[in-house]
Structure 1
Amino acid sequence: MTDQIQRFLLDGTNVRGELMTLDAAYAAVLDTQAYPAPVARLLGELLSAAALLTETVKLDGTLSLEVRGDGPLGLLMAESNPGGELRGIARLAEDQPLPDDGSGFRELLGSGRIVITLDPKEGNRYQGIVELSEDSLAGCLEDYFARSEQLPTKLWLAADAEQHRAGGLLLQRLPDESQNQDQDAWERSVHLASTLKDEELLGLEQRELLHRLYHEETVRVFDPKPLYFACSCSRERIARALHNLGEEELRSILEEQQAVDTQCHFCHTRYHFGAAEIEALIESPDAPAPTLH
């Protein structure tokens, strides 16, 4: 299995980590639209980051990462949940063609920000914002952790769109629980991880990679969790979105088209709502679809 996330601890230290790889899930996201290679690569990195952060914050709900910039790549978005479901999209700016050498993070996105949204099943929604002040997605997310005064966190992200492989490594320093902790563990573990090459992150089996990095440490490895592409769209969610357009807008569409046809941006599933269904939705987003004879 290559689509999975693996948690681990370095025993006797205050360092925890997560290691993940994507194969089929990344390929499924790329199959929804033909992205230019540098865009597909950044989307793979964002999917990896979403999976890592979801496992880190222990959220019972949905985590989304939305990157908006003023460059040729206007939007990157990825969503993840504790069940291992992932989805993502990218949108190019209509008025800015990709430069010939525009394969870098800042060349593609320009100036902008990352919006991190935690949407729990119960409780309040939370949003954090960080500016695109670094030269990589990993660097910007590390900046977010530093500014939000959370635990010290380091990220390594990589993706190969041609091979449909994406992966990531996250290290986090936990609060010292005793005076006997290995005081150099954090610096040592980060230094070793910084020697990691993209081809190793994308090509090695996870336990082999951990052994290469930390063969002088005692690594406690937990059961891996599978990751896969899945879209959370549904007819009910689309119906609620249409209801929110308001009566005037919906009646205008009906007058012009006699029905509403739409599709999910993430998976391209198409939804058709006839005139009678739209009339019912104007009254209530939860109105049952009429029975057609």
Structure 2
Amino acid sequence: MSDLHKFLFEGLPVRGVFVRLDDAWQEILRRRQAAGEGWAAPVSELMGEMAAAAVLMQANIKFNGALVMQIFGEGPVKVAVAEVQPDLSLRVTAKVMGDVAEDATLQALVNVGGRGRCAITLDPKDKLPGQQPYQGVVPLNASLTEGQPRLAGVLEHYMRQSEQLDTRLLLAADGQHAAGLLIQRLPAEGKGNLAGGQPMEAEEQLEHFNCIATLAGSVTREELLSLDVDTLLRRLFWQERVMRFEPQAPRFACTCSRDRVSAMIRALGQAEADSIIAEQGVIDVGCDFCGLHYRFDAVDAARLFMAPGDQPPVNPGVH
């Protein structure tokens, strides 16, 4: 299963979120394989880390809309996308062109020329008139470890900029699991934010956060991928009193539909649709996220451009 756990450190201005994606991540990989588009191991690891990070960030901000994380690259990975809805349903995809070395790093995958960037978009579910999605962009070189970018470090930099809160982020992924641990300093204004403690000075807040962040940073990749939340929290923070909230269940889900594809074909225009039908005999649109294909023959395509009153009844046995 896949689960997400939020927690607070009693008396300290620090909160945390842990996620491990098992069945959700395995379903994503299964669909890629079924579509004949399986990722090389380094790409799979990057996509798993992005999936875990996007779920953590969505759960942490309580945003009523989609959180979309995009990496635009200059290596074999041209673009990578992770999208998470408010109910923690998620989907990911990547456009890969060219060979990927077995030991390729993030630098080799997306930042060969040093101009790769990561964009976080918050797209409100119920937009007000004229309201636009919020987007923040950070260069992949914003955070370097041993001279190379690290996804977790890039996102830590983004959250310090956008939320003005110190953050520690640990990510890991393999062919079975994708996991992440987020530790964040809270503003200590009032007892509520301290889970029953007392307000404290900024220097003391930072000291407590740094201590918790250092403990979190001691977790290994193997521990992050294999340990359940009880064991992980006990092993890392055994000296602290941790307050836990009800777990949540992230899951794979795609928002594609035949209606959406129909709208896309209408946007192309009838002349373009007829041209594709004449050349290929059918309009075949595949979803990059889930691998489903939507096919429209000449009759289907013609029906899309008919006035509602002119459309013939649909035979339920056809589609």
Q: Do the two structures share a fold, i.e. TM-score over 0.5? A: yes
Work out whether residues 9 and 16 of structure 1, in 8 Å CA contact, stay in contact via their aligned partners in 2: yes
1:244-255 map, 5 Å = 244-255=267-278
Shift of residue 276, structure 1, vs aligned partner = 3.3
- Code of the residue aligned with 2:139 in structure 1: it is E
Hey, what does 1:180 align to over in structure 2? 199
Hey, what does 1:230 align to over in structure 2? 253
Hey, what does 2:79 align to over in structure 1? 75
- Code of the residue aligned with 1:28 in structure 2: it is E
Higher mean C-alpha deviation, range 118-127 or range 189-198: 118-127
Larger CA Rg, structure 1 vs 2: 2
1:105 counterpart = 2:102:
no
1:189 counterpart = 2:212:
yes
1:136-155 map, 5 Å = 136-155=150-169
Shift of residue 126, structure 1, vs aligned partner = 1.7
Hey, what does 1:128 align to over in structure 2? 136
Hey, what does 1:43 align to over in structure 2? 47
Q: Aligned equivalents of 1:168 and 1:283: distance in 2?
A: 49
Work out whether residues 71 and 108 of structure 1, in 8 Å CA contact, stay in contact via their aligned partners in 2: yes
Unpaired segments of 5 or more residues in structure 2? Answer: 33-37, 144-148, 191-197
Hey, what does 2:35 align to over in structure 1? none
Aligned residue pair count: 286
Identical aligned pairs, as a percentage? 39
Work out whether residues 40 and 102 of structure 2, in 8 Å CA contact, stay in contact via their aligned partners in 1: no
Work out whether residues 29 and 89 of structure 1, in 8 Å CA contact, stay in contact via their aligned partners in 2: no
Hey, what does 1:272 align to over in structure 2? 295
Work out whether residues 7 and 224 of structure 1, in 8 Å CA contact, stay in contact via their aligned partners in 2: yes
Residues 240 and 284 from structure 1, CA distance in 2 versus in 1: closer, same or farther, beyond 3 angstroms? Answer: farther
Residues 274 and 100 from structure 1, CA distance in 2 versus in 1: closer, same or farther, beyond 3 angstroms? Answer: closer
TM-score (ref. length: structure 1): 0.90
Shift of residue 83, structure 1, vs aligned partner = 1.4
**Could you report, residue by residue, the CA deviation over 1:236-267 in whole angstroms, capped at 9, with x for unpaired residues?**
11112222223332222123234312121111
Shift of residue 229, structure 1, vs aligned partner = 1.2
TM-score (ref. length: structure 2): 0.83
Superposed CA RMSD in Å reads: 2.1
- Code of the residue aligned with 2:199 in structure 1: it is N
Residues 46 and 189 from structure 1, CA distance in 2 versus in 1: closer, same or farther, beyond 3 angstroms? Answer: same
Hey, what does 1:4 align to over in structure 2? 3
**Could you report, residue by residue, the CA deviation over 1:58-101 in whole angstroms, capped at 9, with x for unpaired residues?**
112211111110012222111111212111112212xx422354
- Code of the residue aligned with 2:182 in structure 1: it is L
**Could you report, residue by residue, the CA deviation over 1:7-50 in whole angstroms, capped at 9, with x for unpaired residues?**
00011111111000011111111112211111111111010011
- Code of the residue aligned with 1:128 in structure 2: it is G
Shift of residue 4, structure 1, vs aligned partner = 0.7
